Structure 1
Amino acid sequence: MTASESKLKAPTGILGFPVTPMEQDGSLNEKALEANIRFLLDNGLSAIFIGCGSGEFHAVSPSEYRTMVEIALSAAKGSVPVYTGVGGNLSHALELAKLSEELGADGYLILPPYLIEPEQEGLYQYLNAIIRSTSLNAIVYQRDNCVLTLPTLQRLLESPQLVGFKDGLGNMEMNIEFTQTIGDRLGWLNGMPMAEVTMPAYVNLGFRSYSSAISNYIPHISKLFYDALLQQNQALVNELYLQVILPISRIRRQRKGYAVSLIKAGMEIIGLPVGTAVRPPLIPVEKEHYRQLEQILKTAFDRFPVSR
């Protein structure tokens, strides 16, 4: 799907979520960010989501955010949709939504509100204000303190800008209720941690997109896995699980914050110029976990070489 084809339609396939590379002094490494995005594009990912959770949305400044969006749009050049992350407190979210529209993004992923655990009416007012603030596509991210009921989600559907629902909660009973009731009015995105782990359960419900953390460093594994899943090649799915996906997932669960820092470690291991620095309160990957990841990636490239 090109950017021009993406109006009022959520992207499908494997979605790219770049990290935010840091210099040694903690500043944004713009060249490394561009390299990260071009790597994702060169490897066929279907959309770029810039400045979201894996991009350390919580820790970037307004000027860095603008620069990151500009770099993503320049690198994509309309070849795939570019979405931004917006969220936190409402005023900030509205500012970022307007900036995204001004810069020419295709849409935004609405991250949970800051700190508050709201009632459904409060969630509706928060999400509705952001969705309606621009003409851009909006995707709601269900996780943490943003958990919707079916009636709330149905109210939000009154806005045509709402094109997608990303689930990071994992309540399958709720997902069945949503997908069977709402159908293809929304695009359904799997946003669970290490989404490859849960994608077999999601794909049968109509989820045709997922955010892949490992695509930042082994995109050929993401593609191999998703193609095998859709083609019902269970033997290959199982092999990829046992040799690559589940071992990485086990490391990821060892420390809070590895959702971001483990991606950077993987990118450094394969030679991408990103570095492993993260901003507090995140922590870098510990040496033993880094060594374990090196061994898993060696296995990944040995057993499943990149096609040329």
Structure 2
Amino acid sequence: MNKNRKAPTGISGFPVAPFNHQNELDQEALKKNIEFLLDEGLESIFIACGSGEFHNLSKKEYETMVEIAVTIVNGQVPVYTGVGGNLSEALEKAKISEQKKADGYLILPPYLIEGEQEGLYEYYKTIVRSTDLNAILYQRNNAVLKADTLEGLLNYEQVVGLKDGHGNMELNIELTQRFGNRLGWINGMPMAEVTMPAYKPLGFNCYSSAISNYIPHISRMFFDALQSGDQDTVNMLYEDAILPINNIRRKRKGYAVSLIKAGMEIVGFPVENTVRPPVVPVTSEHYQELKFVLTKVLDKYPSKTGIISVK
């Protein structure tokens, strides 16, 4: 059992769920995705979460993804899984995560229903208490905890972090001021690099990086520039990479997932532009737009390893 009650810091990698054209999980492609993130120095791996199309995995696929991640990582960095949705399924996935020896899990929102705070409290509490694994609570959509509700959940030592994908900065200020170092604070907004300069002063020292799946050196440059106060580099990366990619991401619903796979395919990873409904693949027009952006980015900021290039 993991007794290190600390949330990850730095840049968190969120591998995709690679599907082939037979709609089957491509295990070899997943292994290469995880190995690449480790080689690039990401500080944690979150498997079978939003980017991993958590909502569309069978139990067997989920077990396979978690087992592959834990085996490949082999204790180098923390491995967190995604649990959530239907409460019964969330508890089942939490148990699988424990059996496969993950370090913890990210608790995604319950299915569809917008519950009262007491209902959200019971939902999170039930999952947190079901194992001894670390738990990170995810603020977004129909699961946004108020300060008093969060305080009740902090009675459980398993709760080590809060990931915000909601973007209510007034609430974020209230929570970070009230609970401070009791929790690790993770920016989980779509393309978190866009908002990280606003989150960092509040105590958020970690973020989930979608672009780390295909241009992790850009995410690292950005993170390091923020940490050191190098505003010129931050501005440059905003102009050349982050905002152009984010503008494409915003063009269609579901691109928070499928655009990652498109980027990976463009730089030569064995991940096809294949997703499961209701997410849709990136259109050929937007694919070419992303390829154009990545070509310019990699010309100006080549990877030191030399293995990342537009194919």
Name the TM-score class by shorter chain: over 0.9
Q: Partner residue of 1:160?
A: 157
Question: Is 1:249 matched up with 2:227?
Answer: no
Runs (4+) of structure 1 moved beyond 2 Å?
none
Does 2:20 correspond to 1:39?
no
Q: State the alpha-carbon separation in 2 of the partners of residues 71 and 271 from structure 1.
A: 21
Secondary structure class of the residue paired with 2:195 = helix
Residue of structure 1 equivalent to 2:308? none
Cα distance in 2 between the residues matched to 1:262 and 1:23: 16
Match of 2:147 in 1: 150
Equivalent residue for 2:116?
119
The alignment status of 1:24 with 2:24, answered yes or no, reads no
Q: Which residue of 2 aligns with 1:190?
A: 187
Match of 1:230 among 219, 227, 232: 227
**1:216 counterpart = 2:216:** no
Shift of 1:142: 0.2
SS at match of 2:252: coil
2:237 to 223, 235, 240: 240
Using the TM superposition, give the Cα deviation of residue 228 of structure 1 relative to its aligned residue in structure 2, in angstroms: 0.6
2:178 aligned with 1:181: yes
Q: CA deviation at 1:299?
A: 1.1
Work out the CA distance in 1 between the residues paired with 2:176 and 2:75: 30
State the TM-score, normalized to the length of structure 2. 0.97
Alignment RMSD (CA, Å): 1.0
Distance 2:89 2:20 in 1: 26
Residue 305 of structure 1, CA deviation: 1.3
Q: Which amino acid aligns with 1:301?
A: L
- The aligned amino acid for 1:82 is V
Within a 5 Å distance, the mapping from 1:1-308 to structure 2 comes to 7-308=4-305
**Distance in 2, Cα, partners of 1:51 & 1:305:** 30
Q: Deviations over 1:49-70 (max 9, x none)?
A: 0000000001010000000000
**In structure 2, the residue corresponding to 1:289 is in which secondary structure?**
helix
Structure 2 segments unaligned to the other structure (5+ residues): 306-311
What is the Cα deviation at residue 24 of structure 1?
1.1
Taking the aligned partners of 1:35 and 1:137, their CA distance within structure 2 comes to 26
CA displacement at 1:127 relative to structure 2:
0.2
CA distance in structure 1 between the aligned counterparts of 2:18 and 2:283, rounded to whole angstroms: 18
Percent identity for Structure 1 against Structure 2? 64
Structure 1 unaligned regions, length at least 5: none
Deviation at 1:141, TM superposition (A): 0.3
Structure 1, residues 179-209: CA drift from partner, whole Å, max 9, x if none?
Answer: 0110000000000011000000000000000
